């Protein structure tokens, strides 16, 4: 992940695009004003064969109910897929792909579009052969089958999962041209599972139990240290996402859900939980999962994901194609600390901020959907969103982040994203100087 300057057709790295707000505003027309006479629908009466002629799909019978036993999206949506950036990692087995955020709406990520991050490829496990063991500082070590797990009381919860490395390529400047690549290491689904605390209570915790070491059944046998407090608070052992079984790439048949905390702790293909009295010293956790600061020291155990937001439309992969007039800006906001209380949007690079409208469920540690409806006069825009959570945490600018954490970090970049929208509606990843 360190070599960020190699070109790629998908990710299209940029040469640190910087835009001056002053230059832009000097040349541009007044922003945000009402544009007369431009509506979102055309007047009826102009001849349009799509209205006047009968089309094939209107004339012939379609496929029957036996043709699509497991439904897939329309062929006209075939471009809506997860994408990877080939130059980011050495091979595809220990790699990442990205959620196409600019193609989605609402707050739920469809199962087939949830970004994937794995260190040893996708484990394909027959649930009948899967076991979860709890051992260590417990009264009686236990082994659960999938059937055993489903006998505990079940809960349904919507949570976002964000990889700590999301937006990591953007620390030194604008790099990747699209919110899929800059922000797409996040997904938000409804999990069905059982509270981890029920399973731990079944095994009986010893008085000196303080830490857990969950382990995956994949080839990377990934482990993480999780403080017991968090496990007893809101962690789930989940076997369903959005109502159906987890997908193999998301940890089928069972994964750990660690609400609001960085994705690497959400161990997939969960096979073992060891209970201990101190954190384990993982090679990865001490070298990789720390935030290197400018002075050479590191932030460690930064588990909670910070308050963050991004405008998904318009954005580099989703330009404005309808011309001036009535326009919808939309995006996502989230916080590992709880609910989002407010999102502001600017179209003039931060001179004026407007309260956006959050629509849809507002759930703790879940993505929130926001909209800002305005009349575009066709002039250049610098659009940004800024989220605030219920605890008063405010999303910082990238400049503020860098002044505190330097530029050596990869993890936990929650800085405000800027898209430069040109007069033709195309958009580019930039930073304002
Ligand atoms: N669990 C196992 N067993 N193996 C892994 O490689 N990757 C972790 C975590 N759990 C990983 C894992 C990382 S770094 C992230 S960000 C999330 O899974 C990604 O979850 P997803 O693939 O559902 O998006
Ligand atoms: Co990760």
Question: DSSP labels for 377-407?
Answer: -S--EEEEEEEEETT--BPPPHHHHHHHH-S
Q: What confidence category does residue 109 fall into, taking pLDDT thresholds of 50, 70 and 90? A: very high
Residue 1 structure tokens:
């992940």
Q: How many residues can be counted in the chain?
A: 433
3-state secondary structure of 338: coil
pLDDT band for 92, please (50, 70, 90 cuts): confident
Of all ligands present, the nearest one to the C-alpha of 118 is 1
Closest C-alpha residue for ligand 1 atom 9? 264
What is the per-residue pLDDT across 39-65, written as a single tens digit (0 to 9) for each?
678 787 788 999 999 999 999 999 999
Fold of 17-28+305-432: Immunoglobulin-like (2.60.40)
Res 114 pLDDT > 70: yes
Cβ–Cβ < 8 Å for 116, 250: yes
The secondary structure of 323-387 as a DSSP string is -SEEEEEEEEEE-TTS-EEEEEEESBTTSS-EEPEEES---TTS-EEEEEEEEE-S--EEEEEEE
**Predicted confidence band at 295 (pLDDT cuts at 50, 70, 90)?**
low
Higher-pLDDT residue of 75 and 42 is 75
Where in the sequence of the chain do the CATH 2.60.40.650 domains occur? 17-28+305-432
Band the pLDDT of 381: cuts 50, 70, 90.
Answer: very high
The residue to mutate among 111, 117, 245, 410, having the most atoms of ligand 1 within 8 angstroms of its beta carbon, is: 117
218 lines ligand 1 (CB under 6 A): yes
Which residues place a Cβ less than 5 A from the ion ligand 2? Answer: 117, 163, 263-264
What pLDDT, on the 0 to 100 scale, is given for residue 418?
A: 98
One-character DSSP codes across 127-161: GGG-EEEEEESBSS-EEEEHHHHTTSPEEEEEEEE
Q: Give residue for tokens 């609910």.
A: 339
What token pair was written down for 207?
């008085």
Q: Is 159 in the pocket of ligand 1 (CB under 6 A)?
A: no
Give mean pLDDT, residues 107-124.
97
Q: Is the CB of 263 under 6 A from ligand 1?
A: yes
Domain with CATH 3.90.420.10 in the chain: 112-299
pLDDT(9) > 80: no
Confidence class of residue 252 from pLDDT cuts 50, 70 and 90?
Answer: very high
Q: For residue 86, what pLDDT band results from cuts at 50, 70 and 90?
A: confident
The mean per-residue pLDDT over the stretch 158-182 comes to 95
3-state secondary structure of 430: strand
Other Cβ atoms less than 10 A from the Cβ of 407: the count is 11
Would you give the DSSP letter of residue 352? S
Q: Is the pLDDT at 254 greater than 80, yes or no? A: yes
> Among the atoms of ligand 1, which is closest to the Cα of residue 123?
3
pLDDT, tens digit (0-9, with 9 covering 90-100), for 196-218: 999 999 999 999 999 999 999 99
Regarding the beta carbon of 188 and ligand 1, being less than 6 Å apart is answered: no
Top-tier CATH class for 112-299: alpha beta
The rounded mean pLDDT for the chain is 90
Q: What integer is the mean pLDDT of 409-425?
A: 95
Nearest CA to ligand 1 atom 2: 268
């Amino acid at each position: 992940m360190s070599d960020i300057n190699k070109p790629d057709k998908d990710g299209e790295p940029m040469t640190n695009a910087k835009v001056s707000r002053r230059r832009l505003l000097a040349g541009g027309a007044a922003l945000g004003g009402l544009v007369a006479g431009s509506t979102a629908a055309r007047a009826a009466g102009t001849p349009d064969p799509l209205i006047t002629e009968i089309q094939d799909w209107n004339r012939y019978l379609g496929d029957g109910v036996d043709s699509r036993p497991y439904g897939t999206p329309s062929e006209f949506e075939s471009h809506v897929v997860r994408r990877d950036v080939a130059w980011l990692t050495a091979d595809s087995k220990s790699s990442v792909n990205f959620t196409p955020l600019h193609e989605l709406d609402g707050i739920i990520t469809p199962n087939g579009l949830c970004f994937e991050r794995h260190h040893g490829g996708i484990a394909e496990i027959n649930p009948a052969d899967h076991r979860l063991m709890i051992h260590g500082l417990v009264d009686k070590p236990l082994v659960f089958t999938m059937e055993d797990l489903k006998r505990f009381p079940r809960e349904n919860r919507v949570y976002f999962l964000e990889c700590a490395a999301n937006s990591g390529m953007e620390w030194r400047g604008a790099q990747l041209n699209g919110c899929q690549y800059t922000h797409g290491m996040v997904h938000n689904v409804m999990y069905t599972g059982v509270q981890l605390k029920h399973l731990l209570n079944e095994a009986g915790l010893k008085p000196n139990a303080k830490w857990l070491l969950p382990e995956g059944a994949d080839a990377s046998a990934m482990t993480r240290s999780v403080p017991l407090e968090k496990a007893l608070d809101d962690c789930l052992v989940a076997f369903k996402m959005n109502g159906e079984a987890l997908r193999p790439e998301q940890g089928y048949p069972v994964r750990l859900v660690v609400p609001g905390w960085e994705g690497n702790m959400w161990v997939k293909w969960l096979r073992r939980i060891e209970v201990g009295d101190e954190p384990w010293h993982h090679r990865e956790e001490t070298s990789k999962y720390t935030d290197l600061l400018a002075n050479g020291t590191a932030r460690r155990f930064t588990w909670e994901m910070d308050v963050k937001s991004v405008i998904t439309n318009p954005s580099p992969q989703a330009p404005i194609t309808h011309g001036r007039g009535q326009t919808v800006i939309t995006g996502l906001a989230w916080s590992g600390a709880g609910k989002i209380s407010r999102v502001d949007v600017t179209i003039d690079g931060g001179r004026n901020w407007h309260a956006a409208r959050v629509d849809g469920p507002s759930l703790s540690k879940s993505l929130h959907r926001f909209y800002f409806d305005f009349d575009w006069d066709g002039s250049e825009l610098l659009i940004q969103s800024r989220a605030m959570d219920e605890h008063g945490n405010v999303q910082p600018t990238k400049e503020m982040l860098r002044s505190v954490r330097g530029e050596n970090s990869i993890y936990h970049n929650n800085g405000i994203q800027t898209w430069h929208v040109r007069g033709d509606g195309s958009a580019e990843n930039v930073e304002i100087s």
